[in-house]
């Protein structure tokens, strides 16, 4: 852990922004906030923030450091992220839904919104389904989701559950993205059913080429939280040490341009 001897200036190299700097330097004498101080704050920034999401994932055990085999896209990773821990904390799940809703409303207020208007949200099974359900309840938006085939029960075809209206536009919601394969396959299935898909929102982007790959396929992705932002927060708040931070940042730099073969972000870690 870093203490008062740590650098008194935000890192320009990794782009720590002002409110993150506030968290890192809010303690006396420039010492980063400790656990007790963060708990006293409740909501760190007074409003729902993507950095509160980062803190919740850390506190709930949804972030692990070590060596994990996460498949072709993410490869051998020094960090494993499991957003599904959020479903065990209903208050945080509601805040995540509000965070997504606020981000969408903010985009709609722009002169030229990035997101297309949509009439339904589609959850990517299974992690994205819980997030999409929470958002649907928060925003009163119709929900649909994909149910993968299960040959063991004789169900050999993927299905879309919920009311599908041909011609309607659906917004895809997922919890974690690496290469973007799960989002792309969801989009193609919805399109095959007659729906339009232009955009996706992902709770956490591992920043490993998914945004670029989906853009090439005509899909725009709006991440709520990016992995670099989360790592910068952990580092500035002294939740991880310098070695962990540098190891993760080096990994991201190496993997960002790797070919996006399939989404490897949510498979269980192969080592503790």
At residue 254, the pLDDT reads 83
Output the DSSP codes for 92-121: HHHHHHHHHHHHHHHHHTSSS-SSPP-SEE
What would you measure as the largest C-alpha separation in the chain, in angstroms?
Answer: 65
At residue 253, the pLDDT reads 85
Q: Which of 73, 66, 115 is nearest to 224 (CA)?
A: 115
Alpha-carbon span 158 to 151, nearest angstrom: 10
Pairing of strands 169-177, 120-123: parallel
At residue 149, the pLDDT reads 67
Q: Are 230 and 49 in contact (CB under 8 A)?
A: no
Tens digit of each residue's pLDDT (9 = 90 or more) over 156-184: 567 889 999 999 999 999 999 988 899 99
Q: Are 174 and 203 in contact (CB under 8 A)?
A: yes
What stretches of 60-89 show up as alpha helix (H) in DSSP? 71-74
| Vertex 147: Cα angle to 144 and 153 (nearest 5) | 150
Residues 103-107: contacts with CB within 8 Å, 24+ apart?
103/201, 103/222, 103/224, 104/139, 104/201, 107/222
| Vertex 204: Cα angle to 149 and 37 (nearest 5) | 135
Residue 51: phi and psi, rounded to 5, are -75, -25
Dihedral sign (CA 227, 229, 230, 232): positive
Pairing of strands 63-69, 76-81: antiparallel
Place of tokens 């309840």: 137
What averages of pLDDT result for each successive group of 10 residues across the chain (272 residues)?
38 38 39 41 56 93 90 84 93 93 92 92 92 96 85 70 92 93 93 95 91 92 94 94 93 66 39 32
Place of tokens 């099974």: 125
């Amino acid at each position: 852990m870093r203490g008062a001897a740590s650098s008194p200036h935000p890192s320009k190299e990794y782009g720590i922004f002002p409110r993150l700097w506030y968290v890192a330097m809010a303690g006396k004498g420039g010492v980063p906030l400790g656990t007790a101080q963060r708990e006293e704050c409740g909501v760190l920034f007074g409003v729902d923030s993507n950095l509160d999401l980062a803190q919740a994932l850390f506190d709930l055990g949804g972030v692990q450091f070590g060596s994990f085999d996460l498949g072709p896209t993410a490869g051998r990773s020094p960090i494993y992220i499991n957003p599904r821990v959020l479903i065990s904390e209903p208050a945080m799940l509601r805040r995540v839904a509000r965070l997504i809703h606020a981000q969408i409303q903010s985009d709609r207020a722009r002169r030229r919104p990035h997101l297309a208007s949509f009439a339904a949200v589609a959850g990517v099974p299974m992690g994205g389904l819980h997030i999409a359900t929470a958002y649907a309840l928060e925003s009163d938006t119709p929900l649909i989701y994909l149910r993968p085939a299960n040959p063991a029960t004789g169900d050999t075809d993927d299905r879309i559950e919920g009311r599908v209206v041909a011609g309607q536009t659906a917004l895809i919601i997922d919890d974690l993205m690496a290469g973007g394969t799960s989002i792309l396959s969801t989009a193609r299935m919805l399109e095959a059913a007659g729906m339009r898909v232009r955009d996706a929102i992902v709770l956490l982007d591992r920043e490993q080429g998914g945004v670029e790959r989906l853009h090439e396929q005509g899909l725009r992705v709006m991440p709520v939280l990016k992995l670099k932002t989360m790592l910068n927060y952990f580092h500035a708040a002294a939740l991880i040490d310098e070695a962990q931070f540098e190891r993760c940042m080096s990994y991201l730099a190496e993997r960002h341009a790797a070919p996006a073969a399939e989404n490897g972000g949510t498979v269980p870690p192969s080592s503790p």
